[in-house]
Amino acid sequence: MKSEMKKLLALINRNIKLYFKDKMTFFVSLLTPLILVVLFLTFLKNVYADTITDLIPEGIEVDKNTIEAFCGGWLFS
């Protein structure tokens, strides 16, 4: 059992070293999430907030900061 675990850890360490060895691969893998965050903050945040506001039944008061926090949490997840 221990030898299998050592083999698994060696394989994981090897893959981590290979991943971080090529700086361009690391940069490109971070580029996509950054683009998505920028797009979300510029365009989609208001759409999400408006949709949530429209789904709340009349008579129920929800603070705008709460809705924005929910949208931010949604993005973070």
In DSSP notation, 2-59 reads HHHHHHHHHHHHHHHHHHHH-HHHHHHHHHHHHHHHHHIIIIIHHHHHHHHHHHSPTT
Residue 10: per-residue pLDDT: 94
Can you list the residues of the chain whose pLDDT is less than 50? none
Number of domains observed in the structure of the chain: 1
Q: Is residue 18 part of a domain?
A: no
Give, in order, the Cα–Cα distances in Å from 68 to each of 16, 18, 40, 44, 55.
36, 39, 12, 12, 14
Do the Cβ atoms of 69 and 52 come closer than 8 Å?
A: no
Q: Is residue 67 part of a domain?
A: yes
Instruction: Give tens-digit pLDDT for 14-32.
Output: 998 888 888 888 888 889 8
Residue 11: per-residue pLDDT: 94
Phi, psi of 59 (to 5 degrees): 95, -15
Q: Is residue 65 part of a domain?
A: yes
Q: Which domain covers residue 33, as residue numbers?
A: 23-76
